């Protein structure tokens, strides 16, 4: 039987063990041979977050390899990375190879994901999914390799790997009872923290957190998504299953675009940021004051200027 480690190999896990309210960010490598933009974004956000996720082919859209991008960005910036690893593209042999390698690259956090089906991809729908493991069995594998020095019962040589492992949670999933059962399985498998999908409703979020905190005892970071433009907001509303941008907020984004797009684009950007801060700032403040969550995962991809005004709400 695999038991959950309480050991803190990473700064993130150490802060969670100490009960600190933490912020994490998100970085998204592109379909490119360079990650200069990722490193620039990490440098811009590092004073505001304790760690940053590096996505692994999100929405089954191919990008620069997550484990390598995580290593290079961490080395270049000093900001701790949370390397995402999904099961869509790799069988257990490939996943084990990644897990054996990552600690030698200086990585201490991995976020275990089942991953989106290639049918979600804008360009690579002909790809064949693997799903040899799912997120829960991947979490269990990480803990076995950390705690026992084995992988599916086979002992590996050399030093034991040192990784803390997180998992995803979806407050928007229905029914809630089914999602909580999944999270209980992940907790039993050894999940060190949860990061949620994007939420917009504070009452639903608090109800979700009450269930998670009671039934899993796993620290949970709530996912918030500052939307850089009306196009991003509309696309997110239409394309992400289970997530619905509030219609009044979407309408405000549309009105800003209509008023400023052909007049003053810089003013338009400022107004978009203002809308994000006005909507998300009180959300962050309430979660922080009630200590309902362990922190916030701010998915401000290519939008680091959103961090400073949002974090003003907890000062």
Q: What is the mean pLDDT of residues 230-255?
A: 90
* β-bridge mates for residue 88, sequence order: none
Give the separation between CA 224 and CA 122, rounded to whole angstroms.
24
The β-bridge relationship of strands 150-151 and 154-155 is antiparallel
Q: What is the mean pLDDT of residues 127-151?
A: 97
pLDDT tens-place string over residues 84-107 = 999 999 999 999 999 999 999 999
Of the segments 111-120, 149-158, 240-249, which one has the largest average pLDDT value?
149-158
Q: How many CA atoms lie within 13 A of 278 on its CB side?
A: 10
State yes or no: pLDDT of 1 exceeds 70: no
What is the predicted pLDDT for the residue at 240? 76
Q: Which residue has the tokens 């089914």?
A: 178
Q: Which two tokens stand for residue 135?
A: 């997120």
Full DSSP string of the chain? ---------SHHHHHHHTT--EEEEEE---SSS--HHHHHHHHHHTTT-SEEEE-SSGGG---S-HHHHHHHHHHHH-PEEEEEEESSS--HHHHHHHHHHGGGGT--EEEEE----GGG-SS-TTSPP--SS-HHHHHHHHHHHHHTSEETTEEPPSSPP--EEEEEE-TT-SSHHHHHHHHHHHHHHT--EEEEEE---HHHHHHHHHHHHHHT---EEEEE----SHHHHHHHHHHSTT----HHHHHHHHHHHHHHTTT-HHHHHHHHHHHHHHHHHHHHHHHHHHT-SSEEEE--TT-GGGHHHHHGGG-
What is the predicted pLDDT for the residue at 3? 39
All structural domains of the chain, each given as residue ranges with its CATH number in brackets, are 11-242+280-314 (3.20.20.220)
What is the predicted pLDDT for the residue at 120? 86
State yes or no: pLDDT of 69 exceeds 60: yes
Give the separation between CA 86 and CA 66, rounded to whole angstroms.
10
Q: Which residue has the tokens 């695999």?
A: 2
pLDDT tens-place string over residues 274-287 = 999 999 999 999 99
Confidence label for 16 from pLDDT (cuts 50, 70 and 90): very high
Q: Which two tokens stand for residue 170?
A: 């979806």
pLDDT tens-place string over residues 107-116 = 999 999 999 9
* β-bridge mates for residue 150, sequence order: 155
Confidence label for 243 from pLDDT (cuts 50, 70 and 90): confident
What is the predicted pLDDT for the residue at 174? 80
Mean pLDDT (the chain) is 95
State yes or no: pLDDT of 71 exceeds 90: yes
Nearest CA to 127 out of 36, 62, 43 is that of 62
Confidence label for 289 from pLDDT (cuts 50, 70 and 90): very high
Nearest CA to 228 out of 236, 217, 238 is that of 236
Q: Are 95 and 85 in contact (CB under 8 A)?
A: yes
Look up the pTM and report it.
0.94
pLDDT tens-place string over residues 291-309 = 999 999 999 999 999 999 9
The β-bridge relationship of strands 164-169 and 80-86 is unpaired
Give the separation between CA 213 and CA 199, rounded to whole angstroms.
17
Q: What is the mean pLDDT of residues 183-191?
A: 97
What is the predicted pLDDT for the residue at 147? 96
Four-CA torsion 92, 168, 126, 245, nearest 10 degrees? 180
State yes or no: pLDDT of 219 exceeds 90: yes
């Amino acid at each position: 039987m695999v038991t959950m480690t309480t050991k803190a190999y990473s700064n993130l896990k150490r802060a969670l063990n100490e009960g600190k309210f933490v912020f994490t960010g998100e970085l998204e490598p592109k379909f490119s041979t360079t990650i200069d933009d990722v490193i620039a974004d990490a440098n811009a956000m590092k004073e505001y977050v304790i760690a940053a996720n590096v996505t692994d082919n999100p929405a089954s859209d191919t990008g620069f390899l997550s484990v390598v991008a995580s290593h290079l960005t961490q080395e270049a910036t000093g900001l701790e990375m949370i390397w995402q690893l999904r099961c869509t593209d790799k069988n257990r042999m490939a996943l084990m190879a990644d897990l054996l390698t990552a600690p030698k690259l200086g990585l201490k956090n991995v976020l275990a994901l089942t991953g989106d089906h290639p049918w979600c991809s804008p360009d690579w729908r002909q790809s064949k999914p693997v799903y040899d493991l799912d997120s829960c069995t991947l979490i269990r594998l990480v803990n076995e390799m950390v705690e026992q020095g084995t992988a599916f019962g086979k002992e590996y040589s050399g030093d034991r790997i040192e990784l803390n492992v997180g998992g995803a949670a979806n407050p928007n999933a229905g029914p809630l009872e089914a999602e909580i059962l999944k999270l209980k399985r992940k907790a039993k498998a050894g999940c060190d923290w949860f990061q949620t999908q994007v939420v917009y409703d504070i009452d639903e979020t608090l109800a979700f957190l009450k269930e998670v905190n009671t039934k899993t005892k796993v620290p949970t970071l709530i996912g918030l998504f500052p939307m850089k433009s009306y196009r991003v907001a509309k696309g997110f509303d239409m394309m992400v299953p289970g997530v619905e941008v509030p219609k009044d907020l979407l309408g405000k984004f549309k009105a800003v675009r209509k008023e400023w797009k052909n007049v003053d684009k810089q003013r338009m950007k400022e107004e978009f940021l203002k809308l994000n801060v006005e909507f998300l700032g009180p959300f962050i403040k309430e979660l922080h004051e009630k200590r309902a969550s362990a922190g916030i995962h701010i998915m401000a991809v290519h939008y680091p200027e959103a961090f400073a005004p949002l974090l003003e709400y907890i000062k």
